Structures are given as structure tokens and as C-alpha cells.
Chains A and B, each alone.
Chain A
Amino acid sequence: METDNLSDLTAACIRCGFCLEACPTFQITGEETESPRGRIYLIRSAETNKLGWAEIAPHVDRCLGCRACETACPSGVHYGQIFELAKAKMPSKRWRSSLLRQLTDVKRARRQFQLAALLPGRKLPSFISRLLTKQPTSTRIPRPQELRNYPPLEGLPPIKGQVALLRGCVMDALFPNVHEATIRLLRRLGFEVIEIRNQCCGALHAHSGDLQEARTKFNQLVTSLPRDIVLLTNSAGCGSHLKEYGATAQDVSEFLYENGLVDALKMSDGLACRVGYHDACHLAHGQGVRRQPRELIRSVPGTELVEIPDSDRCCGSAGIYNVQQPILAKHLLDQKWGSIEFAKPDIVVSGNPGCHAWIEQARAERSSSIQVLHTMEFLEASFSGLFD
């Protein structure tokens, strides 16, 4: 059903309830109001003026937007779209838009992340968190990666094409090495990379219901791109959003898989380790990308891919959810870490900066020896080795 009409979108739900157990917040609370079916019903009721938007806001705000319900839904309900349209109708929170402004401007974000070193435990003081969310904080402000010295690339094939890589906002500020690894992998296959800097796709805005700003950011990005070029992203949230808004975009794992990285990896030095793959929601549920990253990891000589139980269950990061709903987010993170430990990997990888930073926090809290990496960092390490 191609429509952006909330009444039609919500009417697609026939209340069978098959989404319930897929929903992390329903699993934790057991409350119908915290389930996809319940939320759709509440949104439908607000749309027909049977309930007020402010009344249903707490339940919609508690939704992660992980879209696991879409994977479970036999009726093809576009929950992600319903969620964003509903968020747009909610009374706005000024601190939220200011937080988004900070995060999506790379320079400002980097400065903020660095300043966080001054905070005890890198956490927002609890009185501020309580002021904003009525809950104590649990989210550490992540530390930006230090730039690695990758060895020079040697024995490369001739250039056979160009691709664009969205450096984005959060990824660029926190994980510059992921971009470096991505660019190196693409170059190893003969692709020259045009880096798109200081541009935000608008995914975090759309996710928070600021649809106007999302559209503006998207349009700016698309018009700045060279013609006839594939836009690649290594951030699941961006990829899912770009595809939905109609850009010619791919997750970098899809592109690398289709363009011969499997064969190249098989010729690489490899890594002797057990690797667990965490499915970022916006890759697995948002884009249906599950197989490609796994196949790539499997192709690394010496590496054993181990399955993490419920690998496609949200880790709780979910954009800025871990700032807005610290208690539920922490619960999900602890669950996720338990599943990771169960699989006993040496390294856990995923394809999204939010998951990456959030799972890294769980690791740091436990001083675990399991390494947390982006899929691209791991794959590049098959050629150039791991960094400590």
C-alpha cells in the first residue's frame, strides 16, 4: 500500500498479534500498550480523535523503532512509516532537537564527545537526565576512536569505477577508522571513493519525527552527489533511511559482497578467531540485509562465524533512545551482552555506529576481553591485521 496516510497505514493492521513476541519492549513489560499492535491501535485512535496525541506519547516514545515487528508481520504493515508520522504529531521536546543538532553536525559532535571526558564516568550528570527523562542516566558518552596507522596499500588492481561514501555524522565523529577500513576495502576491489563530508542524511531526524528537517537534509545530500553514482553507507540507520526516501543507496556490505570481496578475502592472510555477528535492526529489519555480512565474515580464512542467540533483537541503542529511555535501553543492552557471552566469540561485529558504541559500553563496564568492531574494521583486519 503506497500511501502516507496514517488512517490507511494503520488500517493495514488486522490485530493478529503475531508481532508481539518480536517486540523488545513488549517482551520486557508484557504490556499491550508497549507492543506494536497496541501502539498502532493507539495511533489509529489518536488519528480519529478518540485519544489525544499527548496521551499516547509515552507509549510511542518507548518504541525503539527497531522494526522487528515488520519482519514478523504477515500483513505487511509499514510500522516504520507509521512510527515516524506519529512522532511528527507528538508535542515536540526542545531538548531533543537540540541534541539532534549537536549529534548531526560532525565538528560540534566531535567537540562534545571530547568534552565528555570531563564528566565523571563519561555519563551525563543524573540530575540533568532526570530533568529530561525522569530516569537516571545509564548511557556513557562514547569516546571518539583514535586514528589508526594502517599500512600503505600494495598490489592493488586498476581503478574500475567510482562510488560515493557517506561519512555522515555520528560515524564520522566517533569511528573514523571504520571509514578508513571501508575505503581500503573498496580500493582493494578497484573502486575509487568519493567521500561525502559534513552531510547528514536526516535519519535521526525522521526517527524522532522531525520530518521537515529530515526531508531538507536528504534533499541537500542528494543534490550534492555526482550523477549516476552509487551512494554507499556503513551505517545501518542511514542506509535504511536513504533507501526509504528513494536514493540509489546500498549498505557497503551489500556492495562489497556483490563486487567480489568474498574472493579477495579468501586470498587474504585471515584471522584465527571466533566472530559473533550482531544484526543491526536497520540492516536486518529495515533493509533485509542479513546474509551478506555473514558470508563476508565466513570468507575470512581461519575465522569461525558463531551465531549469537536472537542476534536480530535490538541492543537498545536505537538512535538516541538510550538517552531518552535509559532504563529500557540498559535492560536490552544487558540482555544483548548475555547473548553475546553465550556464543563465546573473540570479536563481536555489527554494521551500525549506535550499536557499536552501545555494545562497547557493555564491554567496558565488564572489562571483557571480547573485542567490539564494525564489520568493515574486521574485514580489513583480514588483510592488514588487528590493532589492539
Chain B
Amino acid sequence: MFGSAELSALHAIVGADGVLCGASVERAYDCDAYTVDRSKPTAVALPKTTGEVARLVRWCNEVEMPFTARGAGTGLSGGAMPALGGLIISTKRLNRILQCDIPNRKLLAQAGVVNSHVSKVVADAGLHFAPDPSSQTVSTIGGNIAENSGGPHTLKYGVTSPHVLGLTLVCPDGEILTLNRREQTPDLVSLIVGAEGLLGIVTEAWLKLTPLPERTETALIAFSTVRAATQVVSAIIREGIVPAALELMDRRILEAVRMAFGLEFHPDTEAMLLVECDGAPASCRAEIERVGELSSGALDFRLAKNEDERSRFWLARKKGIGAMGRLAPTIVTHDGVIPPSRLPEMLEFVYAIADEHQVGVANIFHAGDGNLHPCFYFDDRIPGTVERVVAAGEAIMRRCVELGGSLTGEHGIGIEKIDMMPLMFTEADLIMQSWVRRAFSPGNLCNPCKVIPNQKGCIEHRRRWRGAAT
């Protein structure tokens, strides 16, 4: 039920220009960057303060309307999809940096601040915010916290969680909690980061700032087989070298990247490694030289000569997934983790599964920590394709778990992988997780139908979500 009474209640909280509704709005907000399932919101609110978020949440509780937080909408598992309709609480106007404490290397940002903006603001002080998901030029701090985002430099610097010192949370009942890692036991910050918006809405966060490395060396190494590339990855890790980043791109990604950015590569290249070492000049130099020796069987070893070339190498990696649009109209990027030593066999499995289900697949991923991103490309306007893509994805996830890995490295479970949770967790595990959820969120209003399976009603909704996508 959403009529003029509801509208004026929302206007009273966020002002007339802070509420959006109507057919176009329902459509535009019915999914994020995961497009297989879609569901319309009733309305969208754009608050500017923590207080406004809390009042919105309390109002949703009063009228029993589901609510889902949304940042930039670049999530890849449907975390911002309003599964049961209701209110989308957009953080896009919570976009201020509130405090900047350079001597103590920390900064307080509202949830809607764009990730790369934080690094830009503190660059002159020789600092940066280390988590760097590929979407960092657009994705928000709030979204990064919800998904506990990783990124290429995760290998050395860690995912989002260790970079969050404290946060302000609007709980599912509208209460405002201020959490600080040092003051609370148990460490609730670690629980909230990565909770995918199930336990409330993060509105502000103290972020840890990391000094920029003294020196950075970046190499692009071409191989004639994927296996040869993955073997070098294993060798680097075995040596005990911890590069800042260790990324793999296969031939199909490279072709898309060549079309998009004119990146040239050896004609026999089947896989490319991007290796970055950073730190003190001498050790950094020694590390990259050792990587060069380990890659003696490679077709080509190119070291970035300057900052320009380095950013060109990285542009190809960071926008590689986006460039996939040059190969087909729709892509679904998967996210699974395996022990790095199993990379060679896993990649062969990925190619075989894609062939079997007749969909195109390309691989671009964080090889160093075994975080795979098989990227299926297809035309979703052709009937039956979406189902084949979903089946192929499930087979890959199953294999990840069998090999001792995990269902997700950094994209989250969201709506996409909810059915696969039992692959990894026992029934007791899942019950435990739903207890935690219930402790924060007794009702089913805060981002319903996500992450934890077997919630009554969700299964039947699935058909509607899929239907909305066609």
C-alpha cells in the first residue's frame, strides 16, 4: 500500500525532493548490476543524514514495509534488489566526508561517498584507502562495507574489513548504534562488515588510511597456455613472495580489452598475468626481478616504464569486465574461491562447463588468492539462455566448494547464491546464522530474502523475480 498518506509521511522525513516513485523509478531501481532476478521497489528515499535514515527505518517498521539499502547499485549478487518490494533507502546523498584525521591516518565518511574519492582526498598527504574493488570509481563505501569488498590489492593489504575502524549503524528497528573496534567485545564491527545489509544500514564509517607505497613495479606477463600462467602463480606463492597484486586475464578478456582500450599483446597469448610489487625500492625491485625469473617460460615480460604505462595496464584489468559488453549484450560475473594450488585444474573445468552449457566464458581474476571470476557472456533476449547460464554457474560453485574453497570471495551471496548456501554450510551452521540475524532483525523487513536460505515465502517469489528479468 503506497498512497498519498505514505508519500507525505516520507516527505516529512526527507523532503519532497528526497522521495522518488512512479513507473520509471520502479523500473530503474528493480536491480543492480546483477540482472538475472529483478523486483520493483514501491518507492525510493534519498536521506542526507543518519537521523533521516533512522526515521525512515522506524517508519517502515510502523507500516510494516520492507526496506533495502542501495549505494551505487554496482553489486554483482543482487544485494540491493528490493526482493519483496518496499522502500529503497539510497545512500547516494549521504555523500560527505565528515572528518579527516591525517596525523592518525583515519577519516570519517558517510556511506554514499565513492571509494576512489576517499583516496583522492588524502593523496596529497601520501595516503590512500587500500580496498580497491574494480568498481572503485563508482561504488560506495557503504556498499563496500556491506559486501566486505576485495580487489586486486587485497592479496597484500586485505579486504575491506580490516580497513574499517568503526561505524554508525541504523539497526533494523531504527536504533542508532555507534560501534568501535577497540571499545566493544565481541567485535561487532567485524560482524557488520560483510553482513550484506541484513543487520541494518551503515551510514557512516571511520576508515583506516594506508601510506602510499614508496615504490611500485608493475609487469604484464604473457603465456601461451592458461596452465603455464597458473603454474607461475603457484610458484610465486610457493617462494613466499607477496605481490601487491597478482591477476590473471585469459584470451577472451584480452580480446575485449584490446577492442576497448587498444591494449596490444603477443599473438599467441592465451593468458596474461599482471603482477605488481610495492614497498621499499630495493626489495620491490628484487621481488619483481624474481617474478621475472620464475616466468622464464613466458612469451613476453613487460615492465611498466612509467606511471602512465602502469595505469594503462591497470585500466585493462579494472575495466576488463565492463569491456565484456563488446562480446555480448549480457554478462554474469561469478565469484568463487579455491586454494591457489588448484587453479590449473579448476580453470580447465570452467572452460569445459561453459562448452557443455553452450555459453561463452572469459576469466579475469585475483589469481594470488585463488579468487575466480568466470564471466559468462550471452544474449539474454534469446529464450532459454538465462537458465543455461544459471546451471553452469551452479556447477562451478559446487566444484569450488569440493576443492576446499568458498562460494564467494567478494561479491556476496545476495539473492544470486542463496540456494547454494547448503553446499558450504550444514543445517546447524545456517540455523546459527539465522539466530544472529534474528537478534538484530526480529521481523523480516530489513533486506528480506537475502543470504540465508529457507526463509518461508522466498522460494515462491523467485519465479516472479526471474519473470521480471525477461
Q: Contact residues of A with B, CB < 8 Å? A: 7-8, 11-21, 30-33, 37-38, 41-42, 45, 50-52, 55-56, 58-59, 72-77
Contacts and interface: CB of A to CB of B under 8 A. Distances in A.
5 tightest A-B CB contacts, nearest first: A75-B325, A30-B92, A74-B322, A11-B329, A74-B319
A16 B135 contact: yes
A21 B325 contact: no
B449 interface: no
Nearest to A42: B24
Given A14-B325, A14-B329, A18-B322, 8 more contacts: A16-B135, A18-B135, A18-B319, A20-B74, A21-B114, A30-B92, A56-B24, A77-B325
11 contacts: A14-B331, A15-B31, A15-B32, A15-B33, A16-B135, A20-B72, A32-B28, A32-B90, A42-B28, A75-B322, A76-B260
B381 interface: yes
B329 A51 contact: no
B93 interface: yes
Contacts of B24: 33, 42, 51, 55-56, 58-59
B461 interface: no
A7 B382 CA distance: 13
B50 interface: no
B329 A12 contact: yes
Contacts of A14: 33, 322, 324-325, 329-331
A33 B321 CA distance: 23
Contacts of B419: none
Interface of B: 20, 22-25, 27-29, 31-33, 35, 44, 46, 72-74, 90, 92-93, 95, 112, 114, 135, 137-139, 259-261, 319-326, 329-331, 379, 381
B138 A12 contact: no
A18 B137 contact: yes
B23 A51 contact: yes
Nearest to B332: A14
With a 10 A CB-CB cut-off, give which of B73, B138, B261 has the most chain A CB atoms: B138
Contact of A30 (B31, B93, B323): B93
A73 B256 CA distance: 13
A76 B329 CA distance: 11
B420 to A, nearest CB: 23
B330 A41 contact: no
Contact of B74 (A17, A33, A76): A17
Contacts of B326: 12, 75-76
A15 B31 CA distance: 10
A38 B33 contact: no
Contacts of A15: 31-33, 35
Nearest to A45: B27
A31 B46 contact: yes
Contacts of B320: 74
A45 B23 CA distance: 11
Contacts of B112: 30
Nearest to A30: B92
A45 B73 CA distance: 18
A32 B138 contact: no
Nearest to A17: B74
Contacts of A74: 260-261, 319-323, 325
Contacts of B31: 15
A15 B46 CA distance: 21
A72 B20 CA distance: 26
Contacts of A50: 27
Contacts of B27: 41-42, 45, 50-51
Nearest to A34: B28
Given A16-B74, A18-B138, A33 B322 contact: no
A207 B39 CA distance: 33
With a 10 A CB-CB cut-off, give which of A14, A37, A55 has the most chain B CB atoms: A14
Given A15-B33, A30-B112, A74-B325, A20 B23 contact: no
Nearest to A57: B24
A50 B26 CA distance: 11
A159 to B, nearest CB: 38
A38 B95 contact: no
A21 B138 contact: yes
A134 B137 CA distance: 35
With a 10 A CB-CB cut-off, give which of B27, B32, B329 has the most chain A CB atoms: B27
A14 to B, nearest CB: 4
A55 B22 CA distance: 9
A238 B135 CA distance: 34
Nearest to A11: B329
A50 B319 CA distance: 31
A38 B114 CA distance: 18
B438 to A, nearest CB: 31
A16 B33 contact: yes
A58 B22 CA distance: 12
A19 B323 CA distance: 13
A327 B174 CA distance: 35
A21 to B, nearest CB: 5
B39 to A, nearest CB: 14
Contacts of A32: 25, 28-29, 44, 73, 90
A47 to B, nearest CB: 12
A17 B330 CA distance: 14
Contacts of B20: 31, 33
A51 B40 CA distance: 13
Contacts of A55: 22-24
Contacts of A41: 27-28
Nearest to B88: A32
A12 B25 CA distance: 22
A17 B323 CA distance: 12
A76 B46 contact: no
Contact of B325 (A31, A38, A76): A76
A13 B139 CA distance: 18
Given A18-B319, A30-B46, A75 B260 contact: yes
A46 to B, nearest CB: 9
Contacts of A56: 24
With a 10 A CB-CB cut-off, give which of A13, A45, A74 has the most chain B CB atoms: A74
Given A17-B72, A17-B74, A74-B260, A33 B25 contact: yes
Nearest to A20: B138
Contacts of A52: 23
Contact of A17 (B25, B138, B325, B381): B138
A73 B23 CA distance: 26
Contacts of B114: 21
Contact of A76 (B23, B259, B321): B259
A245 to B, nearest CB: 24
Contacts of A12: 325-326, 329
A56 B114 CA distance: 27
B458 to A, nearest CB: 24
A15 B324 CA distance: 11
Contacts of A75: 260, 322-326
A38 B323 contact: no
A7 B330 CA distance: 13
Contacts of B23: 51-52, 55
